[in-house]
Amino acid sequence: MTSPLRIGAVGLGRLGRFHAETVAKHLPHTELAAVCSVVPDELASAKNHFPNASGYADYTEMLNTECLDAVVLTSPSALHCAQLLQAAEAGLHVFTEKPLGITGEECQNVVQQVSAHPDLTIMVGFMRRYDPSYLEVKTRLDAGDIGRPILFRSYSVDPETCIDGALAYLPHSAGQFLDMAVHDIDLARWVLQSEPRMITAAGGCYAHPEFAAHDDGDNVAAFMQFKNETMVFLLAGRTAPHGYQVETEIIGTKATLRVGMTPQRNLVEILDAHGVRKLCSQGFLERFEQAYIAELAAFVQCIRKGKPAEVTVNDGLRATEIALAAQQAFRDRSSSSEPA
């Protein structure tokens, strides 16, 4: 029997605490050996909840002190590249949350540097690739079930109830395209097996003018044409009144596939004085819980089998580059000519 993989979980915020829980509870032959957060309350709570894990407020100290096999990085996006390279230099396998990085240069540097470590599994967390519904979409496209894809349309809109968190996060946000639409960008690349050749973007502040100060919108959209001719339309926003609106539609010459058009929490319908209602999921943990667990299980499987990651740093680089191109197109939009 092989010894358990010793994993350090870095970042214990909205998603990081869940990843730490997954390592501790759901992954066989794996040990949550250390947790790391610069927020004292989070760290204290995690040390209490995971008594077998050592707690660190400093990432470098964790790497220097603990005998780890891998790290799971759920720190702010601007830190992913540097922390990833530090871990790889120390010989550790790395799972990093999306986006891989917030500039093309830092992502290119990661791609170049990790090529010197073919023995390591370095994975980027695009969890939709592990969601059962999106997996079925991928299988059907690969089998040619929908014919030639004409339009790929995908929305990622957070509930308005989360707007306070989004506004507080604005100074650290990499923008809607990198924070939100990057999931749809990766999805499009993955299922279409193609890359954009044209990108344009638009958007605005429809409810929250605060986004304008950061050269961003509360809702932004990009329109692309991929090299295989598929048209791609993406919407990323923060103002869904009803819940976590993540939906995708792919129209092909032979069939159309749709995922999550109504973001319903479960199969319950409520028939009452207001009519017929379905309750909606209210956030990423509720909608993608299974996928978050499955992606970390896949990461551990790859390590165990000595295989490269299924979602690579090159996928992370491409998604960041495309998101940045969309962001630039959004920021340049005022210079585009108005139709006559």
What is the binding site for ligand NAI (CB under 6 A)?
10-16, 36-39, 42, 59, 74-77, 79, 97-98, 125, 127, 179, 284
Pick 93 or 98: Cβ nearer ligand NAI:
98
What are the structure tokens assigned to 212, written together? 């304008």
Q: Where in the chain does DSSP place strands (E)?
A: 5-10, 30-36, 54-56, 70-73, 93-97, 122-125, 149-159, 196-204, 219-226, 231-240, 245-252, 256-259, 270-272, 275-277
Q: How far is the CB of 318 from ligand NAI (least distance, A)?
A: 17
In whole angstroms, give the CA distance from residue 46 to residue 21.
9
Pick 173 or 230: Cβ nearer ligand NAI:
173
In whole angstroms, give the CA distance from residue 108 to residue 317.
7
Q: How far is the CB of 286 from ligand NAI (least distance, A)?
A: 12
Pick 149 or 218: Cβ nearer ligand NAI:
218
Is residue 180 within 8 A of residue 156, CB to CB? The reply is yes
- Three-class SS state of 253: coil
Pick 5 or 323: Cβ nearer ligand NAI:
323
Pick 21 or 146: Cβ nearer ligand NAI:
21
Q: How far is the CB of 103 from ligand NAI (least distance, A)?
A: 14
Q: How far is the CB of 143 from ligand NAI (least distance, A)?
A: 27
Q: How far is the CB of 171 from ligand NAI (least distance, A)?
A: 12
Pick 105 or 338: Cβ nearer ligand NAI:
105
Is residue 124 within 8 A of residue 313, CB to CB? The reply is yes
Beta bridge partners of residue 142, listed in sequence order: none
Q: How far is the CB of 79 from ligand NAI (least distance, A)?
A: 6
Q: Which residues contact 205 (CB under 8 A, 6 or more apart)?
A: 211, 212, 217, 218
Of all helices (H) and strands (E), which one includes residue 61? Answer: helix 59-65
In the bound state, the residue with its beta carbon closest to ligand NAI is 13
